[in-house]
A and B are shown apart, each in its own frame.
Chain A
Amino acid sequence: MKIELLEAIEQSAEYLNRISKWHTTGKPFGHIYNNPATDYLYEFYCYLTFIQELSEENIIKINVSGGMKNNFPRNPAPKRNGWAKFEAFNDEGEYICDICAGIIINHSQINNFSFGADISVQSPVIEPDEDDVFLIIEAKFKSEGDSIQKNELELLASRKEIFNIPGITNILNLHGSSFEKNSIVTNAQVSNHHAAFTRYKNIRQVGYFYPNSPRIEILD
């Protein structure tokens, strides 16, 4: 039994040694405790799931021809760099909008005031500002048992207003996707306590959003 246990310990250690870092850069793999800026993999998972949902009703194609080729930004970055993105087309095959990950949105009227949208549906422009964004989704990886916080909802609501983000679009069919409005999504729980605020601001909370989740929760 002790030999078996020692072997299991050794193998787990070897396994973790290999998977707790990214293969090329050697950066730590996983959630960096107390540092939400590093949850790009969860954001990416939400992003691809959203794209997959959109693909049911829309024509979506990937574009990796920009300067950053097949890469998405690890941290929010300017769109002009040419990051990988998905593009939506209408039935006539016309290019209608971009679905981006980790892109900085500027404000044309307010200097030095911008934010990085985890996921955004926007016009095909190079420098997006408040006139170009249709929908944003904020992804929050949280520990089990945690829930969406009041200040996170307030932040989403204020971005929606300041950056004039309608959360609806008639150029892209959002019907049937988990994110039919400006949303905040988490692997943990939604905040039922702030259901009224969520409704009042016409935003959406999506909870228990993770692979093979038995009960994705939507509150809006």
Chain B
Amino acid sequence: MKTGYWYIRTDTTFTEEDGVSYIVELRSKRIPRIKIGDTILLLDRELFTHSGLVLQTSYENDKEQSIYEKRVVKVGDLTRIESPNSLSDFAYSLPKIYKHFSKPYRHFIRSYGRLSEVEVDIILNKKIFLSRTACGKIFESLHDIHKQLFISFVSIEHPKILTSYPIDYFNLFEILNKYINSNIFSHVNFLKSSIRIMQKHQWPDLGFSEEEELTKKKTDTILGQFEVLTKAEENMGKGLGFVAEGISQYKQEEKFSSSLFKDSWLPKILNP
């Protein structure tokens, strides 16, 4: 029989650890398909902590499927999985995660489940699909209106991206970067310059409103926004330019990754 690949969650199962192996109790009516010799990745909440092999199972001779009872799996031959090892790190790199990109644990909700050999290879050898990750995470971080507008911007200014397959994430990231620079960062500069003028003349904080908003006492002020911005800038990291430069170094390597995903913006039948 072929080797199986599985994740087992150690945070939702009853597990005992003795330093060299984990004894995991799975409660299920069905006899688990996990068998001796299979590869296991242990998942503790959001983190893949260890890889190992199944040394022993308690249910080899069980015949009855209907009895709800403890099924014990002993995982040994452990190797610690180093960072990057969180589900979030792999959110855009594992085919298993096809929907809940910002909450990838939703695809790992059961106490154990199957992985593919490719996915285990991706996790253990850190074959992160960086360009897809960059596009996905940066896109998801934007205000909903900006998300919609970015799609509309791509479709009007760069329609070829929409009809090509597989999606060229390097190119897409460049377009996203350009969109953010010209539509958001430019306005950050307008805000900062406005603040400088206001402070120089010691004017009070100024804001924007609409007639109907005033009753709700909801106004956006220049100083208030500047404070949010200043706070956010404390931890803005190396920026989109660094990311663009960084991912471009993995262009060759990622040909493998893009072969795993059937990403296309349009249903195949509509593609020319």
Q: What string of 1s and 0s marks CB contacts (under 8 Å) between B135-149 and chain A?
A: 001101111111001
Supposing A7-B237, A30-B183, A77-B211 touch, asked if A48 and B224 sit within 8 A by C-beta, the answer is no
Are the CB atoms of B137 and A9 closer together than 8 Å? Answer: yes
Are the CB atoms of B126 and A14 closer together than 8 Å? Answer: no
Q: Which residue of A lies closest to B206 (CB)?
A: A70
Q: Which of A1-60 contact B (CB under 8 A)?
A: 1-34, 40-42, 44-45, 48-49, 51-52, 55
Residue in B126, B190, B224 whose beta carbon sits within 8 Å of that of A2 in the complex: B126
**A211: CB under 8 A from chain B?**
yes
**9 nearest interchain CB pairs?**
A11-B237, A13-B141, A45-B190, A30-B184, A71-B209, A211-B193, A28-B145, A22-B220, A18-B232
B233 partner residues in chain A, CB cutoff 8 A: 15
B231 partner residues in chain A, CB cutoff 8 A: 18
Interface size of A in residues (CB-CB distance below 8 Å): 64
Q: Which of B69-128 contact A (CB under 8 A)?
A: 83-84, 88-89, 126, 128
Residue in B183, B221, B228, B246 whose beta carbon sits within 8 Å of that of A1 in the complex: B246
**A75: CB under 8 A from chain B?**
yes
Q: Compute how far the CA of A24 lies from the CA of B213 in the bound complex, rounded to whole angstroms.
A: 11
Interface size of B in residues (CB-CB distance below 8 Å): 75
Are the CB atoms of A211 and B221 closer together than 8 Å? Answer: no
Question: 12 A-B pairs, CB-CB below 8 angstroms?
Answer: A6-B130, A12-B239, A22-B220, A23-B227, A25-B213, A27-B220, A33-B149, A33-B150, A71-B219, A73-B208, A84-B206, A212-B189
Q: Compute how far the CA of A30 lies from the CA of B187 in the bound complex, rounded to whole angstroms.
A: 5
Are the CB atoms of B141 and A17 closer together than 8 Å? Answer: yes
A positions within 8 Å CB-CB of B: 1-34, 40-42, 44-45, 48-49, 51-52, 55, 62, 64, 67-68, 70-75, 77, 81, 84, 141, 143-144, 187, 210-212
Q: Compute how far the CA of A1 lies from the CA of B126 in the bound complex, rounded to whole angstroms.
A: 11
B175 partner residues in chain A, CB cutoff 8 A: none
B positions within 8 Å CB-CB of A: 83-84, 88-89, 126, 128, 130, 133-134, 137-138, 140-146, 149-150, 152-153, 179-180, 182-184, 186-194, 197-198, 200-201, 203-211, 213-214, 218-222, 224-225, 227-229, 231-233, 235-240, 242-243, 246-247, 249
Closest CB-CB distance, A153 to chain B, in whole Å? 23
